[in-house]
Structure 1
Amino acid sequence: MDLSTLGRPLEGLRVIDLTRALAGPYATLLLAGLGAQVIKVEDPRGGDLARENSPYVGRDGIVVERKHDDDVSISHLTRGRGKHGVSLNLKAPEAAGIFADLVRSADIVVENFSAGTADRLGVGYEAAKAANPAIIYCSLSGFGADAPEGGKAMDVIIQALSGAMFASGDHDDPPVRIGVPIADMLAPVFSVIGILSALEQRHRTGVGQHIDVSMLGALTSFVAIENWSAMAAAGMGARTGLTVRRLSPFGVFECADGYVALVAVHEKMAQGLFRAMGAPELGEEPRFASRDARVANAHALEDRINAWSRTLPVAEVVRLLEAEGVPTAPVRHPEEALLDARVVAREETMPIAHPSYPSTVDLRTAGIPIRFSGATTGFDDVLPVSIGEHNADIYRDLLGYSDADIAALQAKGVM
């Protein structure tokens, strides 16, 4: 089957995107990549916060500080893909009516203001529902739509509150911030799951609904997959650094020129590891002869593995382990990982570029990591480089506003 001739799963759906920064824009990016038309609404007085994120790309290549008006933040270049951009000052008296017109044309609204802000601006769920009872309205906030108004959250705040920072690292280490914005990325995935679930229910009922996702709840639910109190009661060290000792041998080990990850939890794998180490007799040693014994003596076992792996380059350790059927991989830097031929071929990472200035650097970012047998994914060739870039396409061509109406609203600072 030629997938290039197939449509994307969400084609025909329209999304009004009130989001800013990362969490909300990533949710609408996923919807855009799945085929929905996304209309990104930005304040005409500055637009999305991500527009000010360094580094930028433009006529001088990649720079830390913006030098030209048409330099574009790589964050915005990534998150704005496939979206039509309109400007609207939500604090203007006329904004509520314009928002209602947008909602009447749409299926989905996504916002990630702090709790209570959308309602105060007149663009909350009740206002959207009044304009379109079938609307699916998703609120993505730090602590939930029922949290006290004004509670602001950033990824590092949620990582701190969720316990995630004390899930990684050795026992006496300071807290460890996860290097990717995990809370900002996880909550939007749950938001999209909620949106798609609500769409399926709407197929049966014809009625829309409000979806409420909290960043804290999303990340804490992931932390909770491990039973921390049970491990503490059993005297097991729950916090994990380079290795997970309750699964030993499991984790990352040092080589002469880098690091390697390996998993030898089960008996067959453990025996393969010992053979790869040139020490099959370890499998007969009482400390390492069973899974429970290896866990009980994890420190000693890890010392033996590191003593072996540190004498060899990564490539040789991987070769020896693979020959014995032990799951293993080199530990790569992100730049290398994004160029893995497997993820490139599946478009799980994708190139991006300034629309006017080609870059000599392979700028690569997230794709849609889902494959369909009867559909395709991908982004429309559209990007709001400037704030309000597609005002005419949306306000005039879609909603029917006259050029005079648009000009008057722009003159008043509404658009």
Structure 2
Amino acid sequence: MTARPLDGVVVVDLTTALAGPYATLLLAGLGARVIKVENPATGGDSSRNNSPYLSAEGLTIGRQDPEDLSLSMLVRGRGKESVTLDLKDPRGREVLGDLVRAADVVVENFSAGVTTRLGIDHAWARAINPRIVYTSISGFGAQGGPGSGKAMDTIVQALSGLMMTAGTPGEPPVRFGLPVGDLVAPLYAVIGTVSALLQRGSDGPGQHVDVSMLGALTSLVACEPFDALEEIGLPVRTGATVPRLAPFGVFEVEDGWFALCAPTNAFAAGVLRAIERPDLVEDPRFAERDGRVANATELHALIADWAKRRTLAEALPALTAHGAPAAEVRDPAAAVRDAIVADRGEVVPVVDPRHGLFPELRATGVPIRMSGAATTLDRPAPQLGEHVRPVLADLLHYPADRIDELLAAGVV
């Protein structure tokens, strides 16, 4: 397939770190031409200086060669073209203005107020190109919020209430290892961007798409009725099991752990048969869901006692044979090497533009399969400023002498 959903869409990418670059990575995977604008004075996107780096010999803590790319950039920079611009220089803002004039989308994740101070906010972009879709990803929304204007993932996790949904009562808050705040907001940003493009159509105006990291993550916390649970006396933090869905949780076996999700009557009956207690299927404590919730501690103890004397190879077939949904708890290294996700392109090998394929390293793919369009990231990450000349010449039609002048002045 050669058709791509966002073929012909030009995106000016003003993002850095993770939340913004992940949004533009997905847009690139959907077929947009993503032009990544980076600050030459700071070495570009902060991800370029995230250890480890990939050299000809493999992963290293520090750069072995000035052109070694960080693993972060090799993952997040794919499918993009890199242009350097000094946005504090009027000539740099002029070039950016020309890019915006030629583009369909701008994506930025500056702290609130920074784009206004730089003179490159939505009002500026709309005056240049009324059809522009201007997408902002920030900690607390484009207008800012209480406290610091900067919001790292852990700060957002803390403020969203997420840290107090895992673990058991009395334990310290649990920071999720996956940077969910940085990864949820860009998903909504892409949904908003594509929706704005659809609403704009062929001749309509653009608009400002404003996504808050805190709002995105807190909205997911609100999908579960945690405050209602507290009101009726059910604990929010329940550790390895979830009593209100019993039998439900994570259980230890001799050689690992498995997850079990069996909240329905049919699933619960399958669990009881699997643990060799068919006599309890009709027991009033376990036959119906309300009874299982009331007696969750006893039910989970029965499963835990059965599990601790078995291996994964024994426990999982017994559960699944009786229709109980169960699966091994895998570590990330095993999970990203699953043949199913590899075959679907949801996880792909890392490719370095100089050194080629590193099949032992894994990167995120585009987890969207479409029957009539390709959704892949086929080009490796660029070196800083690699595409200055082709972008300025081919897209903006700058003559060679003007490009030379901008390069000599350090504007690009």
Same fold flag (TM > 0.5)? yes
Distance in 1, Cα, partners of 2:373 & 2:238: 40
Structure 2 counterpart of 1:11: 7
Q: 1:279 aligns with which of 277, 286, 293?
A: 277
Pairing 1:405–2:382 present: no
Q: Tell me how far 1:147 sits from its aligned partner.
A: 1.3
CA offsets, 1:389-413, max 9 Å, x none?
0001101222122222222222222
The answer as to whether partners of 1:83 and 1:380 remain within 8 angstroms in 2 is no
TM-score w.r.t. length of structure 2: 0.96
Counterpart residue number, 1:345: 343
Tell me how far 1:382 sits from its aligned partner: 4.6
1:376 & 1:369 partners in 2: Cα distance? 12
1:188 paired residue number: 186
CA contact 1:242–1:251 (8 Å) conserved in 2: yes
> 2:113 corresponds to which residue?
116
- SS of the residue corresponding to residue 140 of structure 1 reads strand
1:99 aligned onto 2:105: no
2:141 match: 144
**Higher alpha-carbon deviation: 76-85 or 284-293:** 284-293
Match of 1:224 in 2: 222
Residues 350 and 359, structure 2, Cα contact 8 Å, conserved in 1: no
1:63 Cα deviation from its structure 2 partner:
1.0
Alpha carbons of structure 1 residues 35 and 204: separation in structure 2 relative to 1, 3 Å: closer
Contact persistence 1:61–1:359 (CA under 8 A): no
CA distance in 1, matches of 2:393, 2:358: 38
Q: Deviation of residue 214 (structure 1)?
A: 0.3
Q: How does 1:7-406 map to 2 (within 5 A)?
A: 7-45=3-41, 46-147=43-144, 151-203=149-201, 206-358=204-356, 362-385=360-383, 387-406=384-403
Structure 1 stretch displaced more, 197-206 or 95-104? 197-206
In structure 2, distance between residues paired with 1:309 and 1:89: 61
Q: Does the CA contact (< 8 Å) of 2:73 and 2:381 recur in 1? A: no
Does structure 2 conserve the Cα–Cα contact (< 8 Å) formed by 1:140 and 1:212?
Answer: yes
- Provide the rounded CA distance (Å) in 1 between the counterparts of 2:281 and 2:169: 28
Give, in whole Å, the separation in 2 of the partners of 1:26 and 1:95.
25
Deviation, 1:72, is: 1.1
Distance, in Å, in 2 between the alignment partners of 1:164 and 1:101 is 42
Secondary structure of the residue that 2:367 maps to in structure 1?
A: coil
Q: What is the CA distance between 1:95 and its match in structure 2?
A: 1.9
Specify the code of the residue in structure 2 equivalent to 1:198: A
Letter in 2 for 1:314: L
Decide which moves more: 213-222 or 200-209. Answer: 200-209
Number of equivalences: 410
Tell me if structure 2 keeps the 8 A contact 1:42–1:388: yes
Summarize the Cα distance change of 1:373–1:120 in structure 2 as closer, same or farther, 3 Å threshold: same
Q: Please, which moves more after superposition, 26-35 or 170-179?
A: 170-179
Cα distance in 1 for residues equivalent to 2:307 and 2:342: 30
Displacement, 1:358? 4.5
Secondary structure (helix, strand or coil) at the match of 1:353 reads: strand
Q: How many Å separate the matches in 2 of 1:93 and 1:14?
A: 23
Aligned partners of 2:349 and 2:358 also within 8 Å: no
| Alpha-carbon shift at residue 286 of structure 1 (Å) | 3.7
Residue 361 of structure 1, CA deviation? 5.5
Deviation at 1:293, TM superposition (A): 1.4
Q: Which secondary structure state, in structure 2, belongs to the residue aligned with residue 173 of structure 1?
A: coil
1:390 and 1:259 map into 2 onto residues whose CA distance is 48
For residue 148 of structure 1, report the CA deviation from its aligned partner: 5.1
User: Which amino acid is 1:245 matched to?
Assistant: P
Which stretch shifts more, 282-291 or 397-406? 282-291
Q: Give deviations 1:219-267, integer Å, cap 9, x for gaps.
A: 0000011122211111111224221111011111111100011122111
Deviation at 1:67, TM superposition (A): 2.4
CA distance in 2 between partners of 1:103 and 1:157 (Å): 32
Q: Which runs of 5+ in 1 are unaligned?
A: none
Distance change >3 Å, CA 36–CA 211, structure 1 → 2: same
CA contact (8 A) 2:49 2:70 kept: yes
SS in structure 2 of the partner of residue 274 of structure 1: helix
Deviation of the 1:282 alpha carbon: 2.3
Matching residue's letter, 2:37? V
> What CA deviation, in whole Å up to 9, does each residue of 1:13-67 have, x standing for no partner?
0000000000000000000000000000000121000011111111221112222
CA shift at 1:205, angstroms?
Answer: 5.8
Distance in 1 separating the partners of 2:30 and 2:263:
38
